[in-house]
Amino acid sequence: MEAWFISDIHLKTAEERNGQILLRFLRSLKDKDPKQVHLFMLGDIFDLWIGPSEFFARQFPEHVKALKDLVTAGGKVTFIEGNHDVHIEKYFEKKLGVKVFVEAQYVNLDGVKVRVEHGDLINLNDEKYLKYRAFIRNPRYKFLLYLFPGWLWNWAGTRASKKSRDKSGEYRARNEAQLITMIRNHVDRAYSEGPFDYIISGHMHVFDDHKVNIKGHEVRSVNLGSWFEDQVKVFRIKDGQGEWVTLT
């Protein structure tokens, strides 16, 4: 089994650099032995994808097709929603055969137990975001997705996303060490919910690869960073061993 982990690409258009890298990557997984491939998309793959609207799918037709082709060929794809791709299960599960989740999931890969999550619950001090998350995840408000067309959600979401990204980018630049500490502290909290060998997350836009001993058990914590860097890196677990792979 070859498991791949990606997150926080924040695609705005299919034509941008990262859009083309992602498309080549998805096609390469199908060209391998797809029945041995499990792709984990840990949220914020798109800068915005809200609900089941075909509007968003039409922005990325080749990426959508590549995902469907991978699943049709026997590959597995698991999508953990982020805070930029929300309530997408109706489209991704029914149209593409992609399994969609919101909260952390556990999976066994060749005898290695892995916890995967978006990572937006790592920083429990961000009360503003936690309130926002509670609102958008409340099933009572899902009906709002159907009240407005996709283009309107895209217009509003793009404006909000730009403001949020500018602020969060400045915050990360000033507080990277603090964010890494949060990621590592989260490992103990997550482990108390259920043991694992690896915990893999995104959201924080900080690359971190750290080993820690918990009750005599070595755990590897990996935060996938983002695709905003000069080099695009993804994480792979193959035959029970984890490693970073650079994409071009």
Q: Which backbone phi and psi does 50 adopt, to 5 degrees?
A: -120, 125
| Residue labelled with tokens 């914020």 | 44
Q: Which backbone phi and psi does 174 adopt, to 5 degrees?
A: -85, -20
Q: What confidence score (pLDDT) does residue 159 get?
A: 60
Q: What confidence score (pLDDT) does residue 166 get?
A: 56
The domain ranges of the chain are 2-247
Where the chain has pLDDT below 70, the residues are 141-173
The pLDDT tens digits for 17-68 are 999 999 999 999 999 899 999 999 999 999 999 888 788 999 999 999 999 9
Mean of the per-residue pLDDT values for the chain? 90
Q: What confidence score (pLDDT) does residue 135 get?
A: 84
C-alpha–C-alpha distance, residues 108 and 176, integer Å: 31
> Any idea which architecture 2-247 has in CATH?
4-Layer Sandwich (3.60)
Q: What confidence score (pLDDT) does residue 44 get?
A: 96
C-alpha–C-alpha distance, residues 108 and 153, integer Å: 37
Give the sheet arrangement for strand 241-247, strand by strand.
99-101, 76-80, 37-41, 2-6, 232-238, 241-247
